[in-house]
Amino acid sequence: MIKNATFLKSYTDPSSIPSENIPEFVFVGKSNVGKSSLINCLVNQKKLARTSSEPGLTRLINYFEINGGSFYFVDLPGYGFARVSKDEKKKWTKMIEGYFELSKNIAAVFVLIDIRRSPSEDDLIMVNYLFTKNIPFFIIATKADKLSKNQIAAQRAEIANALKIGIDNVIVSSSEKGKGKKEILDKIAQIIEN
């Protein structure tokens, strides 16, 4: 489904993001949850999006061009990273909010939540925002390779419950094992083909 993927550009100012009519699939979530790793997994490249074991690596709005411009992946900075200064936090929040206010081409949003954790206050705010704005979204429960089958089932239910959404809307993923990849690519294909 994804034949090629290249880095397009990074933006600090959301008002300068691309304005052509190209659908955007957006990856959001807490710092270190695995957004950049998931993008790499989906495009079959190890280093397209930069990743790090230290939270707070992605600091800009990064656009990746998929299949020669049929759609974009947008990698956003993580929210809720405790160890950055207040000013830095404000800057990131502004960037994320600005992006959602100004992008006219959001096709769907993937909200990533670490499968070992309950959704944070920021996750709830994000999901409520998407719900209110009628923006299609999916929850991705990441790093499933860290849990057993039984734990995965329990955490998936817990996340769905906390967000008041159906369990089918929570996709279990592991970028290390490629788990959930097909399901996510199928969702993207469905949206693109419509």
Ligand X SMILES: Nc1nc2c(ncn2[C@@H]2O[C@H](COP(=O)(O)OP(=O)(O)OP(=O)(O)O)[C@@H](O)[C@H]2O)c(=O)[nH]1
- The residues that touch Mg ion, with contacts defined as CB under 5 A, are 35-36, 58
Find the binder of ligand X among 57, 60, 84, 107 (CB under 6 A).
57
Smallest separation (angstroms) from Mg ion to the CB of 156? 23
The whole-angstrom separation of Cα 176 and Cα 194 is 30
- Which residue's CB is nearer to ligand X, number 68 or number 151? 151
Which one of Mg ion, ligand X, none is in contact with 145 (Cβ closer than 5 to 8 A by kind)? ligand X
Residues 81-120 that bind ligand X (CB under 6 A): none
**Taking the mean position of all CA atoms in its chain, how far away is CA 82?**
19
62 binds ligand X (CB under 6 A): no
Tokens of 104: 């006219």
What type of residue sits at position 50? R
Find the binder of ligand X among 103, 175, 184, 188 (CB under 6 A).
175
Residues 127-156 that bind ligand X (CB under 6 A): 142-143, 145-146
Tokens of 169: 């809307």
Tokens of 96: 């994320």
- Which residue's CB is nearer to Mg ion, number 36 or number 103? 36
Sheet with strand 61-66: strands edge to edge: 5-11, 61-66, 71-75, 24-29, 106-114, 137-142, 170-172
46 binds ligand X (CB under 6 A): no
Smallest separation (angstroms) from Mg ion to the CB of 76? 8
52 binds ligand X (CB under 6 A): yes
> Do residues 114 and 33 make contact, with C-beta atoms less than 8 angstroms apart?
yes
Please report the sign of the dihedral spanned by the C-alpha atoms of residue 89, residue 90, residue 93, residue 99: negative
Supply the DSSP string of 31-72, one letter for each residue: TTSSHHHHHHHHHT-SSSS---SSS----SEEEEEETTTTEE
Smallest separation (angstroms) from ligand X to the CB of 80? 9
Size of the site for ligand X (CB under 6 A): 23
- Which residue's CB is nearer to ligand X, number 8 or number 192? 8
* CA–CA–CA angle 145, 3, 53 (5° rounding): 35
The whole-angstrom separation of Cα 55 and Cα 78 is 8
Find the binder of ligand X among 23, 55, 88, 124 (CB under 6 A).
55
Give the binding site for ligand X (CB under 6 A). Answer: 31-37, 51-53, 55-58, 77-78, 142-143, 145-146, 174-176
